[in-house]
């Protein structure tokens, strides 16, 4: 079956002004100006009212946190007080049922915003939530989303000098054994994979160096990615200097993570030499502009990192630090916060879109998604510019970012429509809103 996505209003792919042809879940052909597809077509989709971009890829999130958005204990705080206020509540109240609903809600929000590949840094494993990754794999499959199951962990409590609460931690052997189980069950290394696994100790503040080292060994043996939070706040840098007598990038080196299997979240407080070292090593950095602004953490050095050779991706992060799981909104925020540092020609809407597509795909270690090009997976987000906010817009691709697109009209994953007329397939959004709202209310009442 060859499908022609024909004559888009605009498309983020050079040489495809007449659209793209899809076949067997992949991009088969780009159709340039004045041309028609090279081979016969079975089906035509008229995209003349759509702006087409590669499906967005979310490289950092914490979906369970949708249960505590705008929580009174967490608002108007910086990272550490925010975390200290909410972590005990999360550890005490998350269970398989509310976790499933939180996952479903965050994934649905992401899909509606134009996201086709998700990852979730799920580090919370109180007793009873051992199957968290399996739950997320099931929920992603139900929506047709690609997912990197990002198996987080905590093993260093407050009593041991870290900041994890006892109810949320697991011991190192249990964590590593579950990582191996998940790799065997879900890590598909083939081109076009729907599910992969990444190993993700939460942060230097709440995991041991031994766990970081053993994770690096496991990731190398099984050819999977590894992920952690790094250099998010000045306090973290000070903690690193005090506890380990070094800076965060030295710490990363010390635990065997300075290689191109690793991507880190935030990556804000790096000096010039560290930026160069990260670039040389090929460590990816997931920029999380919304969360960084909400918590007042600072700003990722996106351009310097990219210039040094580090992949830069984009993540919504959250949800309680962003309170929204909308990746196209994060693209706009990325453009805006970066304009505080770089001049308008230095960071454009195309840079912000690249971070959310190709950049995030590189962070997740994938070359088969993140761009509309022959041979890539047919993952695309299509937006209409019919709302009032777009009226009068000139450049349609710039309008998506500058006028603040927040919902796709259609989303395709592996050649299949998963969102049509703004509605995700196979899910009752009103029911989900009611069920999740009720679960969140019960969660906060318990906390
Ligand atoms: Zn995070």
Average pLDDT for 305-314? 98
| 167 CA distance to ligand 1 middle (Å) | 19
Q: Over 90: is that where the pLDDT of 68 sits?
A: yes
- The average confidence (pLDDT) of the chain is 96
| 265 CA distance to ligand 1 middle (Å) | 6
Q: Over 90: is that where the pLDDT of 163 sits?
A: no
Average pLDDT for 314-329? 93
Q: Over 90: is that where the pLDDT of 242 sits?
A: yes
Read off the pLDDT of residues 324-370 as tens digits, 9 standing for 90 and up: 999 999 999 999 999 999 998 889 999 999 999 999 999 999 999 99
Question: Does an H or E element contain 21, and which?
Answer: strand 19-23
**pLDDT of 424:** 98
Determine what percent of the chain is predicted with pLDDT higher than 90: 91
| 229 CA distance to ligand 1 middle (Å) | 6
The residue among 190 and 90 whose pLDDT is bigger is 190
Average pLDDT for 241-250? 97
Read off the pLDDT of residues 394-404 as tens digits, 9 standing for 90 and up: 999 999 999 99
On the 0-12 / 13-18 / 19+ scale of CB atoms within 10 A, 104 is buried
**pLDDT of 318:** 86
Q: Over 80: is that where the pLDDT of 447 sits?
A: no
Question: Does an H or E element contain 242, and which?
Answer: helix 234-244
Q: Over 90: is that where the pLDDT of 235 sits?
A: yes
Q: What residues sit around ligand 1, an ion, with C-beta below 5 angstroms?
A: 265, 317
| 403 CA distance to ligand 1 middle (Å) | 27
**pLDDT of 148:** 98
| 286 CA distance to ligand 1 middle (Å) | 10
State the Cα–Cα distance between residues 197 and 407, nearest whole angstrom: 28
| 315 CA distance to ligand 1 middle (Å) | 9
Average pLDDT for 392-420? 98
| 320 CA distance to ligand 1 middle (Å) | 10
| 136 CA distance to ligand 1 middle (Å) | 17
**pLDDT of 444:** 85
Q: What would the DSSP string read from start to end of 187-233?
A: ---STT-SEEEEEEE--TTTS-HHHHHHHHHHHHHHT-EEEEEES-S
- pTM flag (> 0.95): yes
| 123 CA distance to ligand 1 middle (Å) | 10
**pLDDT of 167:** 85
**pLDDT of 38:** 96
State the Cα–Cα distance between residues 271 and 438, nearest whole angstrom: 45
- The position carrying tokens 């973290």 is 236
Residue 69 banded pLDDT, cuts 50, 70, 90: very high
What's the helix, strand, coil split of the chain in %, to 5?
40, 20, 40
Average pLDDT for 263-288? 98
| 32 CA distance to ligand 1 middle (Å) | 41
Radius of gyration of the chain (CA): 21
**pLDDT of 128:** 94
Read off the pLDDT of residues 19-54 as tens digits, 9 standing for 90 and up: 999 999 999 999 999 999 999 999 999 999 999 999
User: For 201, how many CA atoms within 13 A lie in the half-sphere containing its CB?
Assistant: 29
Q: What would the DSSP string read from start to end of 228-240?
A: EEES-SHHHHHHH
Q: Over 80: is that where the pLDDT of 415 sits?
A: yes
State the Cα–Cα distance between residues 169 and 155, nearest whole angstrom: 5
**pLDDT of 180:** 98
**pLDDT of 212:** 98
Least confident of 125-129, 220-224, 375-379: 125-129
| 429 CA distance to ligand 1 middle (Å) | 26
Average pLDDT for 119-143? 96
3 state SS of 160: helix
User: Is there a contact between 267 and 220 (Cβ–Cβ < 8 Å)?
Assistant: no
């Amino acid at each position: 079956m060859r499908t022609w996505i024909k004559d888009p209003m605009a498309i983020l792919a050079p040489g495809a002004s007449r659209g793209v042809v899809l076949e067997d879940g992949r991009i088969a052909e780009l159709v340039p100006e004045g041309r028609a597809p090279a081979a016969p077509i079975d089906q035509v989709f008229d995209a003349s009212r759509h702006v087409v971009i590669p499906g967005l890829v979310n490289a950092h999130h914490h979906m369970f946190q949708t249960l505590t958005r705008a929580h009174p204990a967490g608002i108007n705080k910086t990272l550490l007080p925010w975390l200290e206020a909410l972590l005990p509540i999360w550890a005490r109240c998350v269970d398989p049922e509310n976790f499933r609903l939180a996952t479903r809600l965050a994934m649905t929000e992401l899909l509606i915003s134009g996201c086709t590949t998700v990852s979730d840094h799920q580090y919370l494993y109180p007793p009873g939530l051992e199957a968290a990754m399996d739950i997320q794999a099931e929920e992603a499959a139900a929506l047709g989303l690609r997912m990197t199951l990002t198996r987080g962990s905590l093993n260093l409590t407050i009593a041991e000098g870290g900041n994890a609460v006892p109810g949320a931690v697991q011991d190192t052997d249990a964590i590593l054994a579950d990582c191996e189980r998940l790799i065997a069950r879900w890590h598909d290394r083939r081109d076009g994979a729907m599910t992969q696994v990444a190993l993700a100790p939460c942060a230097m503040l709440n995991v041991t160096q031994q766990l970081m080292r053993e994770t690096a060994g496991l990731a190398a043996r099984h050819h999977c990615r590894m992920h952690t939070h790094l250099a998010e706040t000045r306090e973290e840098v000070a903690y690193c200097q005090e506890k380990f007598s070094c800076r965060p990038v030295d710490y990363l080196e010390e635990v065997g993570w300075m290689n191109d299997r690793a991507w880190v979240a935030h990556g804000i407080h790096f000096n010039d030499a560290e930026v160069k070292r990260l670039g040389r090593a090929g460590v990816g950095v997931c920029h999380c502009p919304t969360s960084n602004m909400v918590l007042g953490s600072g700003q990722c050095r996106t351009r310097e990192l990219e210039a040094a050779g580090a992949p830069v991706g984009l993540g919504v992060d959250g949800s309680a630090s962003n309170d929204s799981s909308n990746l196209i909104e994060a693209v706009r925020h990325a453009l805006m916060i970066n304009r505080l540092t770089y001049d308008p020609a230095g960071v454009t809407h195309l840079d912000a879109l690249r971070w959310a597509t190709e950049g995030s795909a590189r962070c997740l270690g994938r070359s088969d998604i993140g761009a509309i090009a022959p041979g890539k997976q047919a993952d695309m987000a299509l937006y209409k510019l019919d709302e009032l906010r777009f009226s009068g817009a000139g450049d349609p691709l710039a309008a998506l970012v500058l006028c603040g697109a927040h919902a796709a009209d259609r989303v395709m994953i592996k050649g299949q429509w998963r969102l049509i007329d703004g509605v995700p397939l196979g899910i009752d959004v009103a029911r989900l809103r009611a069920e999740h709202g009720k679960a969140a209310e019960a969660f906060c009442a318990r906390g």
